[in-house]
Amino acid sequence: MTELPLDVLPGVANVHSHAFQRRLRGRVQARNPAVRDSFWTWREAMYDEALTLSLSDVERTARALYVEMVESGYTAVGEFHYLHHQPDGTAYADPVATSRALLRAAADVGLRITLLFTVYARGGIDTPLSDRQRRFATPSIEAVWRAVDALQADVSPTVQIGLALHSVRAVPREWLGQLTAGARARSMVVHVHASEQPAEVAATRDAYGLTPIALLDTEGALTDVTTIVHGTWATSDDIARLATRGSTVCLCPTTECDLGDGVPPTSALFRAGVPLCVGSDSHVVVDPFAELRLVEHLARAATNERCVVVDAHGQVAPALTQIAHRHGYRALGLDGTGDTIGLDLGHPTLASTNADLASVAWLSGHPGVIDRVTVAGHELVRNGRHVERAALIG
């Protein structure tokens, strides 16, 4: 992008979002002493919440979340969306009603969005969908294309439609290549959760003799328009495949820490040349500064080194800027022209420093240092608040 004033940063793409999961914030921070708490117990709480939400709940929750995102410095979102049906599993009169609700919420707020229509066809490898997963069902490849093609009418400079394969657990092996090829033919990006959990990796190895990432590659689903979400347990072979195919990895550090997923191989990914981006995923935290800082800090903790994710001159801030903006927008198939974050130079975090402002902001900042946010050339945030905040969320 063109050179920006010293007090302006490029907008951040929030590449991985499940908007409805914001409703779990603060409600899943206690454990049953009789049960080992993990991602899998958290998932049951997520299912409970998913089965309570009306169409208006989906839209209202997303609108409030998107206001929070813009005020925090996110200027684009990838909405990985699988609440396709009514809570009882029956279809809405408009089969993409919930997708359209999310698009309306983003339009109301002014946030760029790539709606990643998610394929969710089974409950696990060789396991049908459970009753608790009934809202997520995509019964056939043909049904996927009908939904995606219906949403194409909403495409604009600030809206794109993409395809998400929920995971290799939830999508049959024989669908992976067909769906990726169909998405490419429609000029859509493809996102997929992969290698997030050790149990997922073990189950995929048991079933196919391959890791999730290797399975995607074998089936032709690992390409230069594919973004792997998490990749926490990626092997050295997986990383080589990602680098060869030109695939992107979206790290979600605050969620990965919250769920106890593990520490991603950030250093190995970065040094292999795999493009990285970030997402706030379950939205326990909506703070791009925190996500970007954790990308670097978790890499330091894992390697016992400092300044791991750096540019050619050994500087951290320019590398984080690329992750925040260039790689993120590429992963979403969006143009970030006119998307910027204006900083409050009088904020105590930024004041009285002779250091590079981007270094201070990314490594020490938080949403409180933001004065204004512009998306597609339109000022959405002024003095740290969305200009239509009261009308949008009351």
Q: Whole-prediction pTM value? A: 0.97
Q: What torsion do the CA atoms of 135, 138, 139, 144 make, to the nearest 10 degrees? A: 150
In the set 261, 281, 287, 339, the catalytic residue is: 281
Look up tokens 């001159």; give the residue. Answer: 313
Phi–psi pair at 47, nearest 5 degrees: -60, -45
DSSP state letter for 369 = G
* H-state helical runs in 73-211: 97-109, 141-151, 173-185, 198-208
Q: What is the pLDDT of residues 342-364, one digit of tens each?
A: 999 999 999 878 789 999 999 99
* Candidates 81, 193, 230, 325; catalytic one: 230
In 10 A of CB 177, how many CB atoms? Answer: 14
Residue 203's contacts (CB-CB under 8 Å, 6 or more residues apart) are 124, 125, 169
- Known catalytic residue at 335: no
Query: Could you give the CA distance from residue 207 to residue 182 in angstroms, rounded to a whole number?
Result: 25
> CA–CA separation, 199 vs 207, rounded Å?
12
> pLDDT tier at 3 (50, 70, 90 boundaries)?
confident
281 flagged as catalytic: yes
Cα dihedral 134, 139, 141, 144 sign: negative
Q: Walk me through the domains of the chain, giving residue ranges and CATH numbers.
A: 10-339 (3.20.20.140)
* pLDDT tops 90 at residue 230: yes
Digit-coded pLDDT (tens) for 165-182? 999 999 999 999 999 999
Residue 139 has pLDDT above 60, yes or no: yes
